[in-house]
């Protein structure tokens, strides 16, 4: 798998740490060793930085001067895209989807506050289930008339190019494991817009790795999520020029049990997982993604889903800034 031929901006300056979760390992008391990879500590704070490293390089290569992207009301992706656009001196326009009716508040804290503080050129709110690509195209057309050269970054930065961020993360990880003589059996990842899951899945196959990759859904059912991941994976395989049959849809694991009533909606398991990580490991998660993934991670350990004596790694993808918009989720 030759990834070095793809242009990137160099946002990922060093491998993110892999740390043992010693206190949690003891607390779970299961003869399973727990580890975390700290992608939450990437510059600008989260997994979108890896995807944008390649996407913004593509935008610049195409001569664009303006970025348009979309996300939910507390989108980490929008905030991180805005921060890299600022550093590149590019304008950034956001289309915000109100997935939960009544959830958009112009003066909300967390990521929303930062959209304003960091100077998004425009913020447009649209109703849940809107055609976000069409909304972004409309904005692009407007900007073209003003003489701008807009580049559309899809939701979550998840397409065949954005997924390069996570196939390269898998390469980084394999190198770290070799260096540290660490034999990881399973990696637990979030499965949302799925550039993360798809990029890792394709790379682990291309590397012929035996590591088991478990995706925890944050919004969709298992079948819907498998479709989502598989579609991005196929686009990614095409970008890489790999054999189409390297990954089958049935190779994907997507677990729907920790979504609760829907995207960004509170679950007791999420609340508990966020508290446990904060108190045992001093690691801040978020209510929308990593809190639900950590709920799955801990629950699967309790249910003996992982084999006895195995080493399990949790990929921490960031998002803790959203905590400040969901304080009410943590009050009893
Ligand atoms: C976007 C996001 C995810 C989901 O990653 P995808 O590649 O969209 O599946 C997970 N965690 C956090 C904190 C995110 O912001």
Express each pLDDT in 221-233 by its tens digit.
999 999 999 999 9
User: What is the reported pLDDT for 107?
Assistant: 93
Establish if 1 belongs to a structural domain. no
Please tell me whether the overall predicted TM-score, pTM, comes out greater than 0.85 for this model.
yes
Q: Is residue 302 in some structural domain?
A: yes
The reply to whether 187 and 294 lie within a common domain is yes
* Domain contains 89: yes
Q: Where are any strands of DSSP class E within the chain?
A: 18-20, 33-38, 66-72, 91-98, 122-127, 150-152, 186-191, 212-217, 254-255, 311-316
pLDDT at 332: 77
Q: Is the pLDDT of residue 31 over 90?
A: yes
Tell me if 192 CB under 6 Å of ligand 1. yes
Could you say which of 156, 182, 216 is where a domain stops? Answer: 156
> How many angstroms does the Cα of residue 147 sit away from the middle of ligand 1?
33
**Which of 97, 122, 156 is a domain's end point?**
156
Contacting residues for 36 by C-beta, under 8 A, at least 6 apart: 18, 19, 21, 281, 283, 313, 314, 315, 316
Q: Output the CA 267–ligand 1 centroid distance in Å.
A: 18
- Kindly state whether residue 271 falls inside one of the protein's structural domains: yes
* Residue 81 CB–ligand 1 contact under 6 Å: no
**What is the structure's pLDDT at 128?**
95
Residues 176 and 283 in one domain: yes
**Residue 8 covered by a domain:** no
Q: What is the CA(146)–ligand 1 centre distance, in A?
A: 33
Same domain, 300 and 268: yes
pLDDT confidence bin for 44, thresholds 50/70/90: confident
Evaluate: CB of 77 within 6 angstroms of ligand 1.
Answer: yes
Q: What is the pLDDT of residues 144-179, one digit of tens each?
A: 999 999 999 999 999 999 999 999 999 999 999 999
3-state secondary structure of 155: helix
Same structural domain, 145 and 182: no
Distance in angstroms (rounded) separating the CA atoms of residues 44 and 318: 10
Give yes or no for residue 286 CB within 6 A of ligand 1.
yes
Tell me what the mean pLDDT of segment 253-257 comes to: 98
- pLDDT at 72 > cutoff 90: yes
Closest-CA residue, ligand 1 atom 5, reads 192
Whole-number Å distance between alpha carbons of 33 and 20: 8
Distance between Cα 47 and ligand 1 center (Å): 6
Counting beta carbons within 10 angstroms of the beta carbon of residue 185, is it exposed (0 to 12), middle (13 to 18) or buried (19 or more)?
middle
Tokens of 269: 């398991």
Residue 208: the pLDDT is 96
Long-range CB pairs of 138-143 (<8 Å, 24+ gap) are: 139/68, 139/93, 139/95, 140/68, 143/66, 143/68, 143/93
Same domain flag for 176 and 113: no
Task: Supply the pLDDT for residue 45.
Answer: 87
Q: Are residues 232 and 320 in the same domain?
A: yes
Specify if 3 maps to a domain. no
- Looking at the fold, whether 167 and 291 belong to one and the same domain comes out as yes
Distance from C-alpha of 193 to C-alpha of 48, rounded to nearest angstrom: 11
Note whether residue 4 is domain-resident. Answer: no
75 annotated active-site: yes
Residues 282 and 314 in one domain: yes
Q: Please tell me whether residues 148 and 179 are part of one structural domain.
A: no
User: Which residue range forms the structural domain that includes residue 133?
Assistant: 48-156
Q: Are residues 221 and 304 in the same domain?
A: yes
In the predicted model, what is the mean pLDDT of the chain?
97
pLDDT at 190: 98
Q: pLDDT for 103-151, tens place per residue?
A: 999 899 999 999 999 999 999 999 999 999 999 999 999 999 999 999 9
pLDDT in tens, 288-320: 999 999 999 999 999 999 999 999 999 999 999
Q: Which ligand 1 atom is at minimum distance from the Cα of 194?
A: 9
Residues 312, 34: contact at Cβ < 8 Å? yes
pLDDT of residue 1: 82
Specify if 7 maps to a domain.
Answer: no
Q: Choose one of 100, 123, 156: the last residue of a domain.
A: 156
**Total domains in the fold of the chain:** 2
Whether residues 231 and 148 fall in one domain:
no
Query: 192 and 131 in one domain?
Result: no
288: domain CATH number is 3.40.50.1100
Q: Which residue has the higher pLDDT, 332 or 67?
A: 67
């Amino acid at each position: 798998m030759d990834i070095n031929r793809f242009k990137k901006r160099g946002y990922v300056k060093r491998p993110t740490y892999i740390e043992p979760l010693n206190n949690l390992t003891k607390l779970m008391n299961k003869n399973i060793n727990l580890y975390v990879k700290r992608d939450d500590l990437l510059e600008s704070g989260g997994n979108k930085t890896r995807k944008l490293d390649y996407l913004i390089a593509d935008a610049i290569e195409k001569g664009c001067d303006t970025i348009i992207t979309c996300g939910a009301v507390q989108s980490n992706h929008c905030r991180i895209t805005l921060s890299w656009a600022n550093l590149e001196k590019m304008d950034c326009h956001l289309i915000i989807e109100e997935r939960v009716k009544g959830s958009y508040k112009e003066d909300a804290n967390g990521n929303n506050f930062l959209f304003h503080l960091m100077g998004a050129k425009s913020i447009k709110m649209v109703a849940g289930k809107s055609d976000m690509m069409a909304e972004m195209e409309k904005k692009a057309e407007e900007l073209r008339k003003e003489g701008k050269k807009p580049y559309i970054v899809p939701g979550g930065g998840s397409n065949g190019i954005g997924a390069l961020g996570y196939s390269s993360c898998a390469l980084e990880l394999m190198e770290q494991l070799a260096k540290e003589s660490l034999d990881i059996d399973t990696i637990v990842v979030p499965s949302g817009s799925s550039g993360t899951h798809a990029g890792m899945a394709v790379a682990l196959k291309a590397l012929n790795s035996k590591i088991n990759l478990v995706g925890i859904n944050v919004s969709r059912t298992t079948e819907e999520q498998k479709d989502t991941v598989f579609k991005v994976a196929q686009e990614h395989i095409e970008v890489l020029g790999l054999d189409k049959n390297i990954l089958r849809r049935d190779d994907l694991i997507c677990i729907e049990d920790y979504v609760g009533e829907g995207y960004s909606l509170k679950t007791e398991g999420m609340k508990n997982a966020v508290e446990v990580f904060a108190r045992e490991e001093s690691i801040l998660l978020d209510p929308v993604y990593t809190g639900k993934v950590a709920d799955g991670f801990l629950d699967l350990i309790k249910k003996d889903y992982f084999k006895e004596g195995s080493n399990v790694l949790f990929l921490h993808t960031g998002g803790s800034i959203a905590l400040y918009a969901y304080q009410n989720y943590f009050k009893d």
